[in-house]
Amino acid sequence: MPVALHVVVVDPLPLYGIGAATVLSAAGHRVDRVADALAWPRTNERALVLLTLSSRYAWDVLGELSGAGGCKVVAVVDEGTHAGVRAVRAGATSVLARTAEPEVLLRTVEATAYGQSVLPTGLLAALTGASADAVRPSAERLSWLRQLSNGTTVADLARQAGYSERAMFRLLKALYTDLGTRTRMQAVMRAQELGWLPGGNGSSAG
């Protein structure tokens, strides 16, 4: 029989959080539902967190948790590959669709706890580059590139967008990778080539 796990469920909707906790508890696992996702893992180095990425704060939480030694995160996202790709690149161990069946939730949490990464097939294809060119960044992320190309600093951009500067660096790195690039200049040029940003000589410097 599998060893009982200790899982924290973090979701802004009580109904989903209670449902997830019920599924995991019925399988014999110990479950906490907490308001402050950052406080719990600090005293539980072997924590496994089921985290719904539905707000900017949740993305900041993911960035903080991914830096905590031994903390594994199952990111719960809406359908589609973009959020899943972002989640993996921001440090999530596994990704679960919010519409997943209870059995899938349980299998994903248990597999993650035992050292596996569980990803939807479409997400795996996107991460390996099979569909990277087809993923257009959101209007918000394109606006980040536009502002950076015009000289806005990452610190200023983070304040405007409502993220910590550390989280913004991680999000920008993920954005550059989504575009198949490594630097700000390359990302801006790539977005211009694809027609997602207006072109301009020298606009991508910095």
Average pLDDT over residues 103-120: 93
Reply yes or no on domain 136-193 having CATH 3.40.50.2020.
Answer: no
Looking at the whole model, is its pTM more than 0.95?
Answer: no
CATH number of 6-127: 3.40.50.2300
pLDDT for position 20: 94
Neighbours of 171 (CB within 10 A): 24
pLDDT in tens, 156-179: 999 999 999 999 998 998 888 777
Q: Kindly list the domain boundaries of the chain, sorted by start residue.
A: 6-127, 136-193
**Please, which residues have CB within 8 angstroms of residue 97's CB and are 6 or more apart in sequence?**
76, 77, 78, 79, 120
Q: Provide the mean pLDDT of the chain.
A: 82
Cα separation of the two ends of the chain: 56
d(CA 65, CA 113): 15
In this prediction, residue 200 has a pLDDT band, given cuts at 50, 70 and 90, of very low
